[in-house]
Structure 1
Amino acid sequence: MRKTMIILAIILIGMLIPVGFSTSDSQVVITYGETTYNNAGYKNTVDNFFTTQAGVDLNTVGSKIISASDVNKISSTITGKTYSSSQIFSSALVDLNENDDLEVSVDKSKITTITGDMYISALKSAGITAGHVYVTSPVSATGESALAGIMNSYEVATDVEIPETVKEAANQEIYTQAEIVKNSDVDADELSKLVDDVKEEVIVNNITDHTTIVNIINNYTINNNINISNNDIENLADTIEQIQNVQGDINSYQSEVSDVFNDTTTQANDLLGGLFN
């Protein structure tokens, strides 16, 4: 009798859960670099990667185009670089249906500089801690410009805008790490761990003094036998200091995004609890 009741309950769950509450493609968003989007062959290559890796039906997924001007709004204030419409290749898919933890899958055959750990570190700096992100390009690319598209995808999927100060800090982190990796022999994941560990210490102890942050980084490089220049250490300290200075904006954004996820979870628990009761 008990088995029969359980089976009936499972059937009822399938019948009674609202359509809008099921796994929704509205929580999957793709951002294409404009160069990729405007080239049918490039777009097809990127779409094949997303279909294979993410297992989603791209015909039902929302998408946006990230233009050179979108990237330049950020890059020009950080590195002074400006990109043309023929240089924006990196594309990303964000799936918020997988929202238990933050995961990033990078097409290592095409993305040459930025690693999954670097994206995770920068996204966490922006207050993003959930979802599965996929990053690729139809041709070899550093992956630096992809972060703008990733954060844009999160804004579309959650309907919560990321503060500009937070975007700038997260992008500054990506660009700084990319430059260090390109100009030194340091391992990318090793550098990402350095940044994560130092950020954690700075945030936990509420450190805002630049010299103190420099000393923390310097001690970390010595203890872990990481060889980067004094200039690199200074640039990392500037980046981490910037992130620390916008913690108020990060916390505010996190609170709003958390509400989005918690609302969905609460609806599920209420519905299932009511059925089994």
Structure 2
Amino acid sequence: MIRLIKKKAKSIVCSVLAAVTLFTMNPAVFATETATQTDTVSSVDVSGSDSSDAADKSNTDSTADSTTTAGSEANDKVTISKNDKPYLSLGADLTPDQRATVLGFMGIELTDLDKYDVVYVNNDEEHKYLDSYISKSEIGKRSLSSVLITEDKKGAGLSVSTHNINYCTVGMYKNALATAGIADAKIIVAGPFPISGTAALVGTLKAYEEMTGKKLDDKVTDAAMDELVTTGELNKSIDGDSKDIEAMIADLKKQLADGRLKDESQIKDAIKEAAKDYDLKLSDDDIAKLTSLLMKLKDANIDWDSVINQAQDWASKLGDKINDPGFWEKLGNFFMDLWDKIKSLFS
């Protein structure tokens, strides 16, 4: 409900701003800009592979940060030092220059690498986890995604930052990691150049197991992989904000955790209701994908506490602005100022 209120308020603001713009702008200029913007739309590579054609372009801008790519608004700007006793998972096929690039994103000097606990993820491991959800050609033949992870204090939740990741959002990682049973951790995901980042989840899970000595359940990690890929597909197929999609999935998972969804029929009804709450238009195919995912999650041996904590974290972030006493006052002042400007156009 809070999310819906925010969307309605945003819709009203956009409508008023559009009216002001139309009253004040030169029609000829408006037509020109529209044509120009249409002509300059560019495509983004959202391949599920760490080793797409871009992997052969080692001179590609390797300093690009995820603050300019998908999920940037949710980037937690994580910093981790060696005093945090982190574990590092490196793609086994990184060249020396590429390794230096990803370490730089993590704040690690190449000369200090021997001071860290390091594991390596190879391409066979990526195929083991991802072949069921992504084609072999998309996964590719090289492992490049790298991850730095450290445990955080109990109750801190998940904090994630990404660099050179142009497909998986921070929210996607958090939801999938919560499903896998990771509750309190700080994580940095990096690529040597813009890549999808789907394979980085494999590295995160492997590093977490090494760090904690805790073996994660295979069925649960499989469900986490399914969730990551399904969320990415929904982000592409649904006309909506990726954060709304991720929050909707976290909400549905919480309903599973609370025992409210006991069969496929209830799950489908919950999906349709959640889509209304988050103002998302789902196709029949979208509903089928979500139903399949949630049925798998229902039958897996999931640590539901971590899922509930992640869902509550979403709810907290969504509610902060609405519950802020100054939010509505600022919104009211905004509309008053805007109305004064509109009236001045006709005076």
Establish whether TM, by shorter chain, passes 0.5: yes
C-alpha contact 1:92 1:150 (8 A) present in aligned 2: yes
- The one-letter code of the counterpart of 1:74 is Y
**Whole-Å separation in 2 of the counterparts to 1:68 and 1:228:** 34
- The one-letter code of the counterpart of 2:141 is S
For 2:240, which of 179, 182, 186 is the aligned residue?
Answer: 186
1:186 positional shift: 2.8
C-alpha contact 1:104 1:117 (8 A) present in aligned 2: no
**Whole-Å separation in 2 of the counterparts to 1:136 and 1:95:** 15
Q: How does 1:137-216 map to 2 (within 5 A)?
A: 137-216=191-270
**Whole-Å separation in 2 of the counterparts to 1:71 and 1:61:** 23
User: Aligned with 2:227: secondary structure?
Assistant: helix
Q: Deviations over 1:57-110 (max 9, x none)?
A: 543111111111101111112334453333x322111012555423333325x1
User: Aligned with 1:140: secondary structure?
Assistant: strand
- Identify the residue that residue 118 of structure 2 maps to in structure 1: 63
**Whole-Å separation in 2 of the counterparts to 1:252 and 1:219:** 24
C-alpha contact 1:106 1:134 (8 A) present in aligned 2: yes
Q: 1:167 to 1:229 in 2, by over 3 A?
A: same
C-alpha RMSD of matched pairs (Å): 2.6
Which ranges in structure 2 are unaligned for 5 or more consecutive residues?
1-80, 308-347
For 1:120, which of 170, 174, 192 is the aligned residue?
Answer: 174
Residue 130 (str. 1) matches residue 188 (str. 2): no
User: Aligned with 1:35: secondary structure?
Assistant: coil
- Identify the residue that residue 44 of structure 1 maps to in structure 2: 100
User: Aligned with 1:93: secondary structure?
Assistant: strand
**Whole-Å separation in 2 of the counterparts to 1:127 and 1:205:** 18
**Whole-Å separation in 2 of the counterparts to 1:148 and 1:126:** 11
- The one-letter code of the counterpart of 2:93 is T
C-alpha contact 1:89 1:139 (8 A) present in aligned 2: no
**Whole-Å separation in 2 of the counterparts to 1:24 and 1:111:** 23
- Identify the residue that residue 79 of structure 1 maps to in structure 2: 134
User: Aligned with 1:191: secondary structure?
Assistant: helix
C-alpha contact 1:172 1:239 (8 A) present in aligned 2: yes
Task: Tell me the matched-pair count.
Answer: 224
**Whole-Å separation in 2 of the counterparts to 1:193 and 1:65:** 32
1:35 positional shift: 2.8
**Whole-Å separation in 1 of the counterparts to 2:118 and 2:198:** 20
- Identify the residue that residue 30 of structure 1 maps to in structure 2: 88
**Whole-Å separation in 1 of the counterparts to 2:245 and 2:295:** 17
Q: Deviations over 1:183-212 (max 9, x none)?
A: 343322111100000110122025231221
Q: 1:140 to 1:102 in 2, by over 3 A?
A: same
1:32 positional shift: 1.3
C-alpha contact 2:267 2:291 (8 A) present in aligned 1: yes
**Whole-Å separation in 2 of the counterparts to 1:187 and 1:253:** 24
C-alpha contact 1:102 1:130 (8 A) present in aligned 2: yes
Question: Which TM-score applies when normalising by structure 2?
Answer: 0.59
- Identify the residue that residue 96 of structure 1 maps to in structure 2: 151
Question: Which TM-score applies when normalising by structure 1?
Answer: 0.73
- The one-letter code of the counterpart of 1:45 is T
Q: How does 1:217-228 map to 2 (within 5 A)?
A: 217-228=271-282
C-alpha contact 2:152 2:184 (8 A) present in aligned 1: no
- The one-letter code of the counterpart of 2:116 is V
- Identify the residue that residue 257 of structure 1 maps to in structure 2: none
User: Aligned with 2:280: secondary structure?
Assistant: coil
1:155 positional shift: 0.2
**Whole-Å separation in 2 of the counterparts to 1:253 and 1:121:** 10
Which ranges in structure 1 are unaligned for 5 or more consecutive residues?
1-22, 255-277
C-alpha contact 2:87 2:149 (8 A) present in aligned 1: yes
